[in-house]
Amino acid sequence: MAHNLFRAATLFLAFSAVFAAPVEISGLTGEDVFNLEYATDPQISPDGKQVVYVRRFSDILTDRNYSNLWIVNFDGSGHRPLTSGKYNDNTPRWSPQGDRLAFVSDREGKPRIFVRWMDNGQTVAVTSTEFPPQGISWSPDGKQLAFLSLVASTPPRIAKMPTPPQGAQWAAPARVIKRLMYRFDGAGYLPHGYNHIFLVPSEGGTARQLSSGDFHHGGFGFGASAPVWTPDGRHLIFSANRRPDWEHEVLDSEIFEIGVADGALRALTSRKGPDNSPAVSPDGNWIAYTGFDDRYQGHQGTRLYVMKRDGSDSRMLSGGLDRDAAGPRWAPDGSGIHFLYDDQGNTRLGHISLDGKIRTLQSSLGSGSSAYSSGAAFSFSSSGNLAFTHTTPHIPGDIAAAGPGDAELRRLTDVNADLFVQRKLGEVEEIWYQSSHDGRKIHGWIIRPHDFDPSRKYPLALEIHGGPFANYGDRFDFEKQVLASRGYVVLYTNPRGSTSYGEEFGNLIHHAYPGDDFYDLDSGVDAAIAKGYIDSDNLFVAGGSGGGVLTCWMIGRSDRFRAAVPYYPVINWYSWVLTADIASFGINYWFPGPPWEHAEHYESRSLLSVVQNVKTPTLIITGEEDYRTPMPESEQYYTALKLRKVEAALVRIPGEPHGTRRRPSHHLSKILHIAAWFDQHRKAEGEETGGGE
């Protein structure tokens, strides 16, 4: 509660200052990583009158990220916290009767499921499993909760060690590994065991394991989703990859039903490819789900399907929409299915009828600190009232609502109002331009400094997204706003390979990445310069993950940039596919096979193939616990640059996985290192220079 009272006091003082004295306005600073908040996972009550959501925040004293639950009435009144403190409270789910709320919290030391009675606030922990619960869902009668949790198994052992003498202090034992997927980014070295489905009485008691076998039934692993109940309460429907070789064919999941009484399991789908995210119709007669027929392409459009409850009569519904469908939920009246899709860098909520007719209900869904598609979530009440996350270039993430007949959304929250009284964000401009390679239209955005003066010339920072099958969009981006506040014009685009422009555009880089995306990005720089306010002798480039790959690709083919920052890049595809956590995914979808069969293919796409051309001062940033693009990738590039006597530096961030956002101070460190490297190499106004090409 202290945190929330502090925020309330800050808000009061900030608005009071508007009338008491002039407020010093600035752009966002890196230190604001501790001040920004994000509203996520809105869950509307069954009667449509209230919305519970997760409110994420950071604490500067403990250097940790936390989350609490808040509640607000559908009309925007009664906004208040349900939980408080430096804990992680998440996954709120209303009981079908609307009288209780289940959620996951670590407030008693380790994550457990809690149930709160909404009339009096009484709260009780209902699970005590060894490993954290995930994917909770209520039974239709409200008497049980289904959830996922890891069931540990005995680690493999080869040598039998003797027992240490009494009082001896031996080192930690050796770790024996026999699995292909033995570590995962963000999770670290994986415990031995598998995620299974459990049931627990909603008032608390002994959890009962329902599923069995050496397979992940949700949680960790590709192609696995949380279980959903059938309306009669007799079965749970879920997706899982139960192939014996699931570590090699990571996407080949199926939809299953499992009996609540006896655990009897039956597959409802059987095609080669992912079948995920099942949703059961209100009458129990149909199941909606997502997937595609696997062709081992880098990008394959995820479509929306529907089948009868017994698995028969499966058919594609969204074939007329060349966009990826996600998160299907049936309309309360069963008239169709609500789902999410990205279109030209904007996340939308759509409705599709059973005859395939699509209409857009809302746009600009999402919540988060970057322009990536993320944080989009929605829920409907039985009355048709809707709650969802909402983001724009100037809204990090708030909760919005709309009734069945509402033409426009209504914002229920403004969680960063206190901060934005004192901060002015840079204006964001949408641009389209042609690639010099083949004339294709490329989509992008430009952020100008908050105190922009069109008569001046500004340095330009090209920021490249990762994925590579992902998209930037008209969403809030903290890091780019901070860079703009330091006097840079920031350009970010969706080159070929980006999602939300159709499957054909996404697959232009299939087995050809990095490649012609160079021209899309380079042409974007030219388009920005054509605006007239860019200093063409003051160009910079940065990007993370796949954006780090393309940053190195750009400076390996052009010396127009004064400095570069690839963060957590892949440098050597041969070594990456043998050390990353998604090795089997890499050889199946990003390459035609393993490196020993296609060495030339791997080497020609390696960034070491162009390192001999690099002249640009380069800073590489990577987390020391990054298992998606492991540290040796960055070390290889750094050493190659130093051997060539190119100005270079390597920043290693301890304890960080891919993305370097586990600790707020590490996120701040990443931002400040990028900005400082650019500042060190930035040409001052009026300074003469030979520039780049």
CA distance 562 to 540: 6
Give me the percent of the chain exceeding a pLDDT of 90: 92
Mean pLDDT of the chain: 93
Give the gyration radius of the chain's Cα atoms. Answer: 26
The residue to which tokens 């994420």 are assigned: 56
Residue 684 has a pLDDT of 81
- pLDDT of 5 > 70? The answer is no
Residue whose C-alpha is closest to residue 506's, from 584, 590, 573, 445: 590
CA distance 292 to 300: 7
CA distance 142 to 244: 36
Residue 257: Cβ-neighbour burial (10 angstroms; 0-12, 13-18, 19+): buried
The residue to which tokens 């409850």 are assigned: 309
CA 430 to chain CA centroid, Å, is: 23
DSSP 117-161: ETTT--EEE----SS--EEEEE-TTSSEEEEEEEEE-PPP-SS-P
pLDDT in tens, 589-629: 999 999 999 999 999 999 999 999 999 999 999 999 999 99
State whether CATH 3.30.70.1450 applies to domain 428-571+619-681: no
Residue 225 has a pLDDT of 76
pLDDT in tens, 294-349: 999 999 999 999 999 999 999 999 999 999 999 999 999 999 999 999 999 999 99
Residue whose C-alpha is closest to residue 557's, from 420, 436, 389: 436
Residue 63 main-chain phi, psi, to 5 deg = 55, 50
The CA-CA-CA angle for residues 648, 649, 655, to 5°, reads 150
List the single range of 54-68, 219-233, 567-581 with lowest mean pLDDT: 219-233
- pLDDT of 17 > 50? The answer is no
DSSP H or E run through 278: strand 275-280
CA distance 522 to 437: 10
Residue 692 has a pLDDT of 39
pLDDT top residue among 558 and 217: 558
DSSP 78-99: --EESS-SSSBEEEEEE-TTSS
How far, CA to CA in Å, does 29 sit from each of 89, 247, 464, 483, 672? Answer: 28, 43, 21, 9, 10
**For residues 45-65, average pLDDT:** 97
Residue 457 has a pLDDT of 96
pLDDT in tens, 390-431: 999 999 999 999 999 887 899 999 999 999 999 999 999 999
CA distance 692 to 145: 62
CA distance 222 to 313: 26
Confidence band of 435 (pLDDT split at 50, 70, 90):
very high
The CA-CA-CA angle for residues 505, 510, 515, to 5°, reads 90
**For residues 181-187, average pLDDT:** 92
Residue 220 has a pLDDT of 61
Residue 71 has a pLDDT of 98
DSSP H or E run through 7: helix 2-20
DSSP 578-598: HHSTTHHHIIIIISSS-TTTS
Residue 224 has a pLDDT of 67
Residue whose C-alpha is closest to residue 487's, from 533, 544, 527, 442: 533
What are the domain boundaries of the chain?
428-571+619-681
- pLDDT of 474 > 70? The answer is yes
pLDDT in tens, 480-496: 999 999 999 999 999 99
Q: Collapse the DSSP code of 561 into the 3-class scheme (helix H, G, I; strand E, B; otherwise coil) and give the result.
A: coil
Contacts of 289 (CB under 8 A, 6+ apart): 239, 255, 269, 275, 276, 277, 278, 279, 304, 305, 306, 307, 328
Residue 226 has a pLDDT of 81
Residue 278 main-chain phi, psi, to 5 deg = -65, 145
CA distance 340 to 602: 35
Bridge partners, 494 (sequence order): 443
Q: Two tokens at 26?
A: 């600035």
Contact 560, 554 (CB under 8 A): no
**For residues 577-584, average pLDDT:** 95
How far, CA to CA in Å, does 20 sit from each of 14, 23, 424, 633, 691? Answer: 10, 9, 19, 54, 48
User: What is the b/e burial string over 316-352, where b = at least 16 CB atoms within 10 angstroms of the residue's CB?
Assistant: ebbeebbbbbbebbbbbeeebbbbbbbbbbbbbbbeb
Residue 441 main-chain phi, psi, to 5 deg = -80, 130
Residue 4 has a pLDDT of 46
3-state secondary structure 314-327: CEECCCCCCCCCEE
Residue 665 has a pLDDT of 98
CA distance 268 to 311: 5
Residue whose C-alpha is closest to residue 88's, from 33, 126, 41, 122: 41
Contact 422, 23 (CB under 8 A): yes
CA distance 62 to 508: 45
CA distance 540 to 129: 50
Q: Two tokens at 42?
A: 């809105």
Q: Two tokens at 180?
A: 């292909």
CA distance 604 to 513: 10
DSSP H or E run through 402: strand 395-402
pTM of the model: 0.93
DSSP 332-378: TTSSEEEEEEEETTEEEEEEEETT--EEEEE-----SSSSBS----E
Contact 381, 47 (CB under 8 A): yes
DSSP H or E run through 621: strand 618-623
DSSP H or E run through 544: strand 534-544
Cis bond upstream, residue 514 (ω within 30): yes
- pLDDT of 221 > 70? The answer is no
The residue to which tokens 């043998």 are assigned: 578
CA distance 623 to 147: 32
Pairing between β-strand 489-494 and β-strand 458-464 as defined by DSSP bridges: parallel
Contact 499, 509 (CB under 8 A): no
Contact 38, 369 (CB under 8 A): yes
pLDDT in tens, 624-675: 999 999 999 999 999 999 999 999 999 999 999 999 999 999 999 999 999 9
